[in-house]
Structure 1
Amino acid sequence: MSGASVTITTPSNGVTTTVQVTYGEVKQVEVDRVAVELRGSVKGDKAVHITSDVEIVVYGVFAELASSDAYLALPTDVLGTEYFTPCASIQRASPAEFGVVGVQDGTTVTIVPSQAVTFDGQNYTAGQAFSVGLNRFETLQVQAMQDLTGSKITATQPVAVLSGNQFAVCMPVGQKQKGSGDYVVEMIPPVDTWGKEFVTVPLTKHTGGDLFRVVAARDNTRVDITNENTKSLHAGEFLEIDVPSDEYRHVTSSEPVLLVQYSKTADADKTDTDPFMMVIPPVAQFEAEYTFSTVDLIQNRTNTTHHINLVMSYGFVRPESYGYPGGLRLARIAALCSTTAPVPADRVDNDCDGRVDEELLNGIDDDGDGLIDEDLATSNCADNRDQYRTCLRDRCRNLVP
């Protein structure tokens, strides 16, 4: 494979950079901070536009001494029109915040904040909806000195949403938010890609546990978590749990939810870590193959450690960190569904069971739903003995040297 030709444009200043990236290579491109940084609770033009002639993986990295984080950038073809935001508890004088990026001209964005906010000089109470018009590459940011988790964002056309805190310590709600903190951010998947089943994995190095938040998008959502009492959430409500560092949890829900993991402050257990926020993919969105990159932390590059858990990638050095999902599908498993003819690896929930491409073409009911070969993954050559030779030849032709 010859690689990719990637173009990065910052519309606010008109600067365009084109780079060639070979297969398996990670190339870093710095953009002007003034051109891309959202500031205040206002409308702006701080988008970053990235195009490529082949599929690529993109990470957004905010690298600052003792306050870094990163996110997995989502491609425009999987963006949606409904979101709920995860943030974190407020520490000191640093706000919770979320941003929205317009992808198409003439988009109307409606925001229902979970806390009182001031936007563009106007005051809005918690639960009071307000609308903002966005054209392509226009942006808005909403900030508040209270936790904005559960704020609802809807749009007339697909938009991108990022959420987090300017500086978070990530201690449980009700505890004093004291200790080393970080900027935390994630790019949020739209509601129609949320799931009903998750597994949690403790972060290495930490001994004082990890925080998780379950955010609901629908009323009367029942949430069941290993070793926790069943909870019922309404749309925009969230459940926070503090899970010991030696425990794994299984999370299921009656309606699609968003699960977010938080690395606590290093002061929670005196470890060489720091806060970050990371979206945990639902089991139904797991992929079979991932390509990902690590992030250089500034505080102490020599002692920085990078780690991979089952569904995530993250790194630590005291007092700095980053974390994001190593990869995930973004099939619309939570959208209204109609059964469709099975096409292998079409990333569509053909049988409307909330899972995607989970069957092999083998005449067996792999997912136990009483149907056979109804939602097909990419089959391997052994799955079809009659075409084994042709399958192998085609596979060899597609091998990357």
Structure 2
Amino acid sequence: MASTGLVRGMGSFFKECAHPSSRWSKCPHEYTIRYRNASGRQTEESGFTTQELAKSRLAEVYHARKSSPMSVHKAELIKKYGSMQFAAYTADWLKGQRHQSPTTLRNTESTLKNHLFPAFASRRMGTFDHKVVEAFITEMERNGVGLAAQTNAFIRLKTILSDAHRLGLYEDSPMKGVRPPQYDPARAVIPSVPQLQSIRTAGDDVFRLVAELMSGCGLRNGEAYAVNIKNIVADDVYRVREQVNQATKSYARLKHRKANEYRDVPLPTRTRHAIERYADTYGTVDGYLLRNPKDITLAMPHHIITTQWRKVKASGLVDIPEGMVLYGLRHFFASNCLSNGIPITDVAEWMGHRNVQITFTFYRHLMPGSISHAAELLDLGLAA
């Protein structure tokens, strides 16, 4: 079955017979037309004896659809919002997000400020397409933006552009076919044991304690900043209960956990001694060790450690592998566990991942030779 296209959006006509289109004018079969009705559903009509009648009907349907109240309204929306700048459109969109929690709104505003506005603030809404979105993701990767931040920016952008798509600004969603930011194992730079020892002695005591917690217990940055001596539930177990939210600068529930949920992680003796030594030296506030230096009643903000990390790297006095970010200390914990034969299911629980597949995707490359080792064991079994 062949078909012939008309003006874009008008539809097409064809014959349900074996004759090529070059023979349609002479074959006796009737024409069928196909078009989208006012509600967007694909519709077919048949019984047209000539090509001119088929085209005439398509034109009639097309113009009726274009002049329908729904189409006129859509055209008005495109005119109003298509030329609107991203920043202005987003301000309107935010007004409709009242159902979101205060924490979610703060995170959204942080993502807009730090990632989306620098890239798109003045861009006209009608000019977004998949190439624009792809270029944005590529630029974040090139600038070394963390995967979590990339993902948050992608999700927020997708939500906003989907809202615009529902208004009819785009024929196809600008997100169609765009692959979300992906974790690249090659970008997970992990320090060696000597390099870790060097990093653990850099910076001030606050930085050193965070380095101990991330590399020794696998805590995320914000979880380490919320360290509390009361969470040592056994000599070898630390209970992770909360984290310092980067946007709100306050204590919040754990990632992928409901309020008051926790996870227990192994507590190496060295890390426990680091916690106790810091508490003995500087004291605690309701058990919390790290506080805002300007107001000890508040949690310690993220920038305290990130600023130190930049200074440590810039000093050139510490052996830090090229491309390593602070999160590499947490990667070291996973590497240390897996290389010592600890089951990946346990590591997934301790890392706080939603499921073991995430852990496998992130850290499969940290199990070198596992297939070869399995082949050796199978050979031994077969030779028995």
Q: TM-score range by the shorter chain?
A: under 0.3
Greater helix fraction, Structure 1 or Structure 2 = 2
Greater strand fraction, Structure 1 or Structure 2 = 1
